[in-house]
């Protein structure tokens, strides 16, 4: 543990930005920071199963080299994440490291190169501690697969860590990683953050490169899948966004006078009472911060979700089945029988999600939500209502679920997938906690390209309610 002269300091007290500042200021050596995080991973990971491939020896070597650099050349000119320990979801290739994306068929693969997003983390001085768990080929609302098993929520072993970036959310929330690189094609950064009680950002479509992601989204839905950060503090998301996007720091705008629409019901979907109360509590805080708060339950969010599932079915279903089947289509009865025999190749949870897309997507044909022209209309309706402001809404419709939440997708996706379809950025921040210590989070959505506005509003909520708390 790091010492401050009065006793050991918990590394979870520092986010990525705070650690970077402390290292540059000479408060900690990189070795102290890296070792403290490794110690914490070794302590908590047996109960979490979040980090599935460790890179501790290379991390220690990099930390020693970083300290030698500072000792010889001083702290001036250090890159923004110098010495900060991070983790990477196993859907991203890290050169020379096992690369499975949770698939039994890729269980022995080793990456031959880094993803571009990983390269940008390294170039910014980050030190990778390991790779984290996900569902089979990222298709799931719970991070479980036949290779590594199930990841537990950082706050309760009985509860889901979410998916598909559940391993990242679990270890970041627990304090073992200061920053995580995840991905999101249908809530996969946001669902786990809301489940565990950390923060995340689904960036605008295309803002961060998805080069190397397994599986790849292609064609008309390519930009539905995004790379993005998970962290404990909103300032860490802002720092990670500039690094991962390869951009100069844009700054966080003021929120006073900015419009904030509040949505609590999307067509037939409505949140539980405690979730609605959490959103209204957040809305009150934003009003106190000077935002112009207005209720609007007439937005076409539910229609966007229906359209998303149909288009995914029509454009990607054959690819999804081949990805899950290791390059070939699969038989669901045969895979279920394998599972009964203890020879599972595809998890039941992934099979359920695939079936949901295949059959649930048909609803769009009944409602007429079946074209990109309709998608553009709904997106325009959203933008006209939001103006240059934000939308405040739930992400999960209930409190975090126990393991098995895959069987209840409609509690998790109605407020997630619409913003993949529109390309809008969305940030997750915890606002309050249930009586048993589980998080109740809200989602802040901004217009496409205005990621910093979403982060600015999320930051206000973090200031008002305290944000992440240690488990």
Reply yes or no on whether 156 is catalytic.
no
How far apart are alpha carbons 101 and 108 in whole angstroms? Answer: 11
The one catalytic residue among 165, 170, 188, 347: 188
Give helix 56-73 / helix 30-48 axis angle, nearest 10°: 160
SS3 assignment, position 254: coil
Residue 91: partners with Cβ closer than 8 Å, 6 or more residues away? 101, 102, 134, 137, 138, 164, 183, 213, 214, 215
**Whether 443 contacts 279, CB under 8 Å:** no
How far apart are alpha carbons 187 and 192 in whole angstroms? Answer: 8
E strand segments, 90-237: 127-132, 144-145, 149-150, 152-153, 156-160, 179-184, 199-202, 226-231
How far apart are alpha carbons 143 and 218 in whole angstroms? Answer: 23
The one catalytic residue among 36, 89, 156, 204: 89
**Both structure tokens of 356:** 């949901």
Per-position DSSP letters for 318-380, written without gaps between them: HHHHHHHTTSS---HHHHHHHHHTT--SS-HHHHHHHHIIIIITTHHHHHT--SHHHHHHHHH
Reply yes or no on whether 188 is catalytic.
yes
The one catalytic residue among 160, 164, 200, 347: 164
**Whether 238 contacts 457, CB under 8 Å:** no
SS3 assignment, position 28: coil
**Whether 455 contacts 219, CB under 8 Å:** no
**Whether 254 contacts 455, CB under 8 Å:** no
Reply yes or no on whether 164 is catalytic.
yes
Which residue bears the tokens 């102290």?
A: 32
Active-site residue set: 89, 164, 188
């Amino acid at each position: 543990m790091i010492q401050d002269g009065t006793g050991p300091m918990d590394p979870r007290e520092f986010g990525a930005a705070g650690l970077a500042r402390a290292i540059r200021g000479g408060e900690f050596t990189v070795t102290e920071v890296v070792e403290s995080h490794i110690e914490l991973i070794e302590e908590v990971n047996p109960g979490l199963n979040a980090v599935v491939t460790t890179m501790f020896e290379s991390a220690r070597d990099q930390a020693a080299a970083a300290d030698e650099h500072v000792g010889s050349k001083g702290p001036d000119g250090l890159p923004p994440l110098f010495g900060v320990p991070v983790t990477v979801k196993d859907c991203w290739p890290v050169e020379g490291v096992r690369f499975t994306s949770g698939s039994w068929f890729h269980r022995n693969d080793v990456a031959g190169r880094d993803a571009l997003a990983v390269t940008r983390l390294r170039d910014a001085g980050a030190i990778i501690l390991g790779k984290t768990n996900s569902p089979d080929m990222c298709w799931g609302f719970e991070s479980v697969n036949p290779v590594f098993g199930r990841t537990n929520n950082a706050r309760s072993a009985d509860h889901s860590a979410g998916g598909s970036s559940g391993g990242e959310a679990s270890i970041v929330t627990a304090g073992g990683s200061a920053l995580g690189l995840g991905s999101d094609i249908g809530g996969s950064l946001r669902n786990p953050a809301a489940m565990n009680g950390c923060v995340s950002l689904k960036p605008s479509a295309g803002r961060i490169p998805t080069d190397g992601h397994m599986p790849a989204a292609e064609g008309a839905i390519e930009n539905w899948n995004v790379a993005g950060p998970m962290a404990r503090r909103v300032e860490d998301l802002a720092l990670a966004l500039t690094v991962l996007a390869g951009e100069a720091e844009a700054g966080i705008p003021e929120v006073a006078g900015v419009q904030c629409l509040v949505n609590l019901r999307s067509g037939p979907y409505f949140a539980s009472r405690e979730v609605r109360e959490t959103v209204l509590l957040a809305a009150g805080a934003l009003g106190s911060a000077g935002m112009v708060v207005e209720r609007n339950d007439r937005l076409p969010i539910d229609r966007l979700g229906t359209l998303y599932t149909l288009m995914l079915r029509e454009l990607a279903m054959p690819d999804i089945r081949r990805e899950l089947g290791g390059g070939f289509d699969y038989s669901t009865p045969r895979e279920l029988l394998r599972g009964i025999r203890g020879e599972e190749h595809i998890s039941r949870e992934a099979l359920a999600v695939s079936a949901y897309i295949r059959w649930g997507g048909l609803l769009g044909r009944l409602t007429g939500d079946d074209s990109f022209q309709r998608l553009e209309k709904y997106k325009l309706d959203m933008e006209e209502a939001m103006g240059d402001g934000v939308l405040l809404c739930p992400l999960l419709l209930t409190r975090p679920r126990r393991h098995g939440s895959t069987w209840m997708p409609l509690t998790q996706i109605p407020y997630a997938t619409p913003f993949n379809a529109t390309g809008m950025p969305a940030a997750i921040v915890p606002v309050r906690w249930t009586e048993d210590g589980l998080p109740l989070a809200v989602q802040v959505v901004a217009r496409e390209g205005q990621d910093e506005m979403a982060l600015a509003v999320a930051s206000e909520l973090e200031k008002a309610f305290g944000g992440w708390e240690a488990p």
